[in-house]
Amino acid sequence: MDGLADQIRRLKEERDAVILAHNYQVPEVQDVADIVGDSLNLSRQAAKVSQKVIVFCGVHFMAETAAIISPQKRVLIPDVEAGCSLSDSITAEELREWKAKHPGAVAVGYVNTTAEIKAELDYCCTSSNAVGVVRAIPANREILFLPDMFLGSYVSRMTGRKNMRIWAGECHVHAGISAQDIDKKIRSMKDAEFVIHPECSCTTPMLYDLASGRYDGRPVSVLSTEGMMRHVTESGSKNFVVATETGILYRMRRQNPQKTFVAASDRAECQYMKMITLEKVYRSLAEDRYHVTVKPDIAAKARRAIDRMLAIS
């Protein structure tokens, strides 16, 4: 009897499916995936892959983004309950009210939002291109940035943009990675380099140092999950403190066996990402579930914001 991973690989061929997995997925799911990456990379891949079926191992907004970009493909998510606290921090109604209060402002929304929110946006962005997207907007235009306040403050600092209103949303996992967590590691890991996701609350007291690339004498880079993967591979440093969801450590260690990776906080686990198990990936392929769809009118509007982002990055 074949193991579950072999059965998944066989079913994948039979169903003409590709498995995309986010960097936070559990190791065994990353191992059966064809492509592992960050939100931006996975969105791009969803548009490029030739297979008819995409099994999206990540959270719901990511699968929805794939369905918007590739309406001719069948997008499946192994657990339809895999949500995101950040995406839940703003509703479409709240966004419409916010826009009505600031007519003429440009709405820029993080990819961690529902399709209904994306349909209300002028631009979408991810953690790897948010600075570039904001820079591409004429300086005299007011910006409504949503929903992550830590990413928003970071982007405002890096672009020097003052006319940016920032929604007070957060991801509970990254908000929980505090300045105290970083300070502890600065004391205990003497020669380590720091890589930090811009959704972390620890970025706030560091904001004025981040542009210089150093904090308390240590090299610090603020990066998306894929940016982190690239950086730790290219850097000459041997030891790294990683401030993001701990699932990424598996891929970092596997690809860089000669280097050491320590989580800034061991509590940084996203229970939504961890809802996707190998068993559920198997059932997703075997039972053709759960099909993620977006209403065509919402998808068409959301796609404009995503296409504008893809054109910039």
Instruction: Give the shortest CB-42-to-ligand 13P separation in angstroms.
Output: 8
Instruction: Out of 25, 201, 203, 225, name the contact with ligand 13P by CB under 6 A.
Output: 225
232 contacts 240 by C-beta, under 8 angstroms: yes
Q: Is 222 left (phi over 0), alpha (psi -120 to 50) or beta?
A: beta
Instruction: Give the shortest CB-189-to-ligand 13P separation in angstroms.
Output: 23
Instruction: Give the shortest CB-245-to-ligand SF4 separation in angstroms.
Output: 5
* Number of residues located near ligand 13P, criterion CB under 6 A: 11
113 binds ligand 13P (CB under 6 A): no
From the number of C-beta atoms within 10 Å of its C-beta (0-12, 13-18, 19+), residue 296 rates as exposed
Instruction: Out of 89, 127, 203, 284, name the contact with ligand 13P by CB under 6 A.
Output: 127
- By beta-carbon proximity to ligand 13P, the closer residue of 86 and 285 is 86
User: Distance between CA atoms of 45 and 40, rounded to whole angstroms?
Assistant: 9
**Angle at which helices 248-255 and 225-234 pack, to 10 degrees?**
20
Q: Which range of residues in 79-87, 118-126, 227-235, 291-299 is near ligand SF4 by CB under 6 A?
A: 79-87
Q: Which residues contact 258 (CB under 8 A, 6 or more apart)?
A: 238
120 contact choice in ligand 13P, ligand SF4, none (CB below 5 to 8 Å, kind-dependent): none
Residue 55: strand pairing partners = 19, 76
272 contact choice in ligand 13P, ligand SF4, none (CB below 5 to 8 Å, kind-dependent): ligand SF4
Residue 143: strand pairing partners = 106, 164
Q: Which is it for strands 17-22 and 53-57: parallel, antiparallel or unpaired?
A: parallel
Alpha helices in 111-199 (DSSP H): 115-118, 130-135, 149-159, 172-175, 179-188
133 contacts 123 by C-beta, under 8 angstroms: yes
108 contacts 146 by C-beta, under 8 angstroms: yes
128 binds ligand SF4 (CB under 6 A): no
Q: What are phi and psi of 106, to 5 degrees?
A: -95, 125
The residues in 39-78 that bind ligand 13P, with binding defined as CB under 6 A, are 39
- By beta-carbon proximity to ligand 13P, the closer residue of 7 and 153 is 153
Instruction: Out of 43, 85, 114, 126, name the contact with ligand 13P by CB under 6 A.
Output: 126
122 binds ligand SF4 (CB under 6 A): no
224 contact choice in ligand 13P, ligand SF4, none (CB below 5 to 8 Å, kind-dependent): ligand 13P
The residues in 171-200 that bind ligand SF4, with binding defined as CB under 6 A, are 171, 173-174
Interface contacts to ligand 13P, rule CB under 6 A: 23, 38-39, 112, 126-127, 171, 199, 224-225, 245
Interface contacts to ligand SF4, rule CB under 6 A: 59, 84-86, 112, 171, 173-174, 245, 270, 272-273
